[in-house]
């Protein structure tokens, strides 16, 4: 399941983030690559402890916790701290699949109180002080508009073939962490972005897709003034499926 999140960040937030990213100190992205990816990765990243990255990362995760589409589609248990990359001058990242787990100290869980009062609400367990988190879902947030650079498309292989993604600044794409993906060479301008992973309450992408479809249908029934008993029955089915499939 591949979905886009429009207008995740406001124009003012994008402007502030771009100013910070343009003035930041960038390091060789291969420093965080595994022994296989190191030969495929050619970009620059912010160090994991860079204060600019932490500040913008907090802004992103807060926006995601308020966004109904992300909450319904991802069913997040934990959102890993966002990372940041920069591509220019032919830099690129070849086809790869991200690590299945990352060890992240002090990860804060998604806050269920920030999610919409809909069928997709679920309880989120707190993460221990240091833990392995599963990368069920990958997310890329764009900080450069498409006309600012040539190339730089995020290519994602899924069931229906290759999907080419190049979104306006402030928008995000969410896709399964199991997907083979790459970033094409940036031949003009600079491409700024953020990338990170989410451990979902439901690890299977097909089951998450079914729950999203049902949640969307329930919301449409509510908006159309459907019979309350029917809505209640369907909502009950949603939560029973979530209870059956969730791994808190």
- Kindly compute the dihedral angle of the four CA atoms of residues 98, 55, 2, 103, in this order, to the nearest 10 degrees: 30
Report DSSP letters for 104-157, one per residue. EETPPBP-GGGS-SSTT----PPPPSEEEEE--EEEEEE-S-GGG-EE--EEEE
Percentages (nearest 5) of helix, strand, coil residues in the chain: 35, 30, 35
Considering the entire predicted model, what is its pTM? 0.87
Mean pLDDT of the chain: 89
Per-residue pLDDT for 120 more than 70? Answer: no
Query: Confidence band (pLDDT; 50, 70, 90) for 121?
Result: very low
Residue range 28-81, pLDDT digits in tens: 988 776 666 677 899 999 999 999 999 999 999 999 999 999 999 999 999 999
Can you say whether the dihedral through the CA atoms of 122, 158, 100, 190 is positive or negative?
A: negative
For the record, the structure tokens of 17 come out as: 């983030």
- Report how far residue 246's alpha carbon sits from residue 220's, in angstroms, rounded to the nearest whole number: 24
Distance CA 6, CA 3 (A): 10
| Interstrand relation of 3-5 and 172-176 (parallel, antiparallel or unpaired) | antiparallel
* Cα–Cα distance measured from residue 203 to residue 61, given in angstroms and rounded to the nearest whole number: 20
pLDDT of residue 117 exceeding 60, the answer is no
| The predicted structure's pLDDT at residue 35 | 67
Residue 113's pLDDT band (boundaries 50, 70, 90)? very low
pLDDT-derived band of residue 105, with 50, 70 and 90 as boundaries? low
Instruction: Report how far residue 185's alpha carbon sits from residue 199's, in angstroms, rounded to the nearest whole number.
Output: 29
| Residue 25, SS3 per DSSP | coil
What CATH topology corresponds to 3-203?
Jelly Rolls (2.60.120)
Bridge partners (DSSP) listed for residue 142: 193
Give the per-residue pLDDT at 39: 79
């Amino acid at each position: 399941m591949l979905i886009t999140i429009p207008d995740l960040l406001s124009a003012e937030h994008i402007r502030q983030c771009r100013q910070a990213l343009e003035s930041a100190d960038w390091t060789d992205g291969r420093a965080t690559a595994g022994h296989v990816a190191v030969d495929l990765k050619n970009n620059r990243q912010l160090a994991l402890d860079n204060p600019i990255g932490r500040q913008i990362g907090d802004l992103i995760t807060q926006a995601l916790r308020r966004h109904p589409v992300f909450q319904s589609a991802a069913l997040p248990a934990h959102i890993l701290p966002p990372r940041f990359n920069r591509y220019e001058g032919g830099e690129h990242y070849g086809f790869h699949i991200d690590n299945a787990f990352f060890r992240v100290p002090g990860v804060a869980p998604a806050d269920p109180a920030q999610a919409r009062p809909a069928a997709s609400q679920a309880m989120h367990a707190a993460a221990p002080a240091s833990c392995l988190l599963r990368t069920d879902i990958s997310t890329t947030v764009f900080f450069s508009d498409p006309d600012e650079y040539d190339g730089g498309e995020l290519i994602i292989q899924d069931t229906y073939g290759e999907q080419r993604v190049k979104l306006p600044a402030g928008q995000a794409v969410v896709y399964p962490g199991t997907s083979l993906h790459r970033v094409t060479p940036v031949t003009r301008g600079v491409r700024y972005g953020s990338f990170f992973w989410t451990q979902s309450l439901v690890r299977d992408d097909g089951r998450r897709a079914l729950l999203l479809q049902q949640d969307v249908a329930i919301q449409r029934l509510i908006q159309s003034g459907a019979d309350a008993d029917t809505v209640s029955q369907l909502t009950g089915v949603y939560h029973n499926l979530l209870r059956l499939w969730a791994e808190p």
